[in-house]
Amino acid sequence: MRNAKIVCTIGPASDDRDTIRGLADAGMSVVRLNASHGTTDHRETVIERARAVDDEIDDPLAVMVDLKGPEVRTAEIDDPIALAEGSEVSFLEGDDATPERVGLTHSIGAAEPGDTILLDDGRIECRVERVDGESVVATVVSGGKLGSRKGVNLPGVAIDVDLITPEDEAELDLAARTNADFVAASFVRDADDVYRIADELEARGGDDIPIVAKIERAGAVENLEGIVDAADGVMVARGDLGVECPLEDVPVIQKRIIRTCVNEGVPVITATEMLDSMVSSRRPTRAEASDVANAVLDGTDAVMLSGETAVGEDPINVVDTMDRIVRQVESSDEYAETREQRVPTAEEGSRTEALARSARYLARDIGASTVVAVSESGFTARKTAMFRPGVPVVATTPNDRVRRQLALSWGVRPVLTEYANDMESILDNAVDAALDRGGAASGDTLVVLSGMLTELEGTNTTNTLKVHVAAETLVTGKGAVAGRVAAPVHRTEDGDLDALPEDSVVALGPEFNGEFGGDLDRIAGIVDAREGMTGYPAVVARELGVPMVSGAALPESVADGTTVTVDGERGVVYDGDVLRAARER
């Protein structure tokens, strides 16, 4: 499976149900609805379509409502206008734009002479000459054509605009009403801004909606640690960030944000212009492919597509291309090496992080195929992903909302399971879910990690870490001689080995009290119904160096010639060859 997830912005080119389904089949995990465009009512319709697709497919499809925030944009106009280099233009609130006077959604009267005004992601640059009340007069330094509703940036200028606009309030109502899986907060400056959004959601009954903080301002970079601590996720919004900060600083800032988030176990999305040329092209540029690859190598939880899927000519092809790039990178030795070198340390005092980190290395050292994280709230699953194990993470949860929210976390494959009455049943259900969804095969060794489950009153639900073999247990006893072997089993009443096929497991009944006769080299393992660690069979097993389990009466239903696996370390006899998966890896 792919570890890094794909977030897709839905727009006119992709908002019908069939295309949403096609995007999900191609690899989309999260639907992003950009409130800077379209209407709230239409976004509600798209959410309904996304939910319908989620019901049809196996993997979860989450919905993120991305707030417009206190952004400043130029007026909505029918045709572009030309701002000529060297000309003088006035900026003030208004709903029209001409080459001499550009209307804005908010006043930029806080600007001062010498400040820079950047339009349309910096494509047009102006220098402030004077401020006449709410009108800011500037000279066009670098001109060009200005279209409708283009972004306005004033690097280093604190514009007096409310964090939560009336338009944002409508989107927060929408998010709470439709049980959106995430809300992305635009233009946050510090942790307090994140908490304000959380308070507004809580007031609307959406207190369980995670907040993704978008890093778009230079001030946000300075307050990064506090924002990461306050938020449930972070987006590296490179569009505005590349205008607010020197362009040459953005790559390093991106790496710093990703690393900070990974170390804290907070999902991080790398966004903006990742495959921008594919808005109109069938193939991305080599530079764009490298951009995606570097974000994946840095450990990003997700990569995001914006205009490529919102207004592009072939959104599904874009997602398919992104999926191929990510998978190719993740299959490389360089990716494996990077992942091994950047394992975070567990927070002191956090049992969940300590166990999640242990699960990562335990899975590697015993050759496990999967880490299964049993998680009611998603916390344990996200902490497991934080340490980037080298095998897939199958997260089981009884909460469908959590199942969708885990769609954003690196390497996690969420599965919905039912509540059970005891911890053993919960763990068994989790393993069954991993088998049913293809996260593990019969015979695989799994590392199972469980967090605290609040629904089980009176049950010991403290954090648990265990190794589980995904196979039916035929009988348990005591491990007399360590080792593991898979071979056909044959019973003997008197110890005669003449009819025993080569490399067989010998099963001894409770009445056996003699010695073996014949070629001992035929014995691959011993299962003895009698208790005892020092009797004759145990002596033979040690001399031959074959595994043995004592105190284990093989059920009569197991016919001679049936392949079993003898685990002399755990004292268990499994049905079938549970070592096959490990050999094949």
What is the three-class DSSP state of 170?
helix
From residue 485, alpha-carbon distances to 101, 299, 489, 503, 579 in Å are 82, 38, 11, 10, 8
Among candidate residues 211, 165, 147, 192, the one with its CA nearest the CA of residue 35: 165
What is the three-class DSSP state of 223?
coil
Beta bridge partners of 119: 124, 152
User: E-strand spans in 133-230?
Assistant: 135-142, 144-146, 152-153, 182-185, 211-215
Mention every residue, 6+ apart, whose C-beta is less than 8 A from residue 219.
189, 190
**At CA 345, angle to CA 339 and CA 349, rounded to 5?**
150
CB 212 within 8 A of CB 227: no
CB 389 within 8 A of CB 416: no
The DSSP line for 96-121 is -B-SSEEEESS--TT--TT-EEEETT
What is the 3-class SS of 543-574, one letter each residue?
Answer: HHCCCEEECCCCCCCCCCCCEEEEECCCCEEE
The C-alpha atoms of residue 206 and residue 192 are separated, in whole angstroms, by 18
Which H/E stretch holds residue 130? Answer: strand 124-132
Question: Tokens at residue 450, please?
Answer: 């469980």
The C-alpha atoms of residue 385 and residue 244 are separated, in whole angstroms, by 32
CB 73 within 8 A of CB 37: no
The C-alpha atoms of residue 139 and residue 86 are separated, in whole angstroms, by 6
Q: How far apart are the first and last CA of the chain?
A: 16
Answer left, alpha or beta for residue 340, where phi above 0 means left and psi between -120 and 50 means alpha.
Answer: alpha
Which H/E stretch holds residue 81? Answer: strand 81-83
Mention every residue, 6+ apart, whose C-beta is less than 8 A from residue 575.
471, 472, 473, 474, 558, 562, 564, 565
In one-letter notation, the amino acid at residue 232 is D
In one-letter notation, the amino acid at residue 565 is T
Q: Which residues are catalytic?
A: 32, 73, 214, 272
What is the 3-class SS of 427-470, one letter each residue?
Answer: HHHHHHHHHHCCCCCCCCEEEEEECCCCCCCCCCCCCEEEEEEC
The C-alpha atoms of residue 260 and residue 253 are separated, in whole angstroms, by 10
Question: Tokens at residue 425, please?
Answer: 């049943």
The DSSP line for 408-431 is GSTTEEEEE----SSHHHHHHHHH
Residues composing the chain: 585
Mention every residue, 6+ apart, whose C-beta is less than 8 A from residue 77.
96, 97, 147, 148
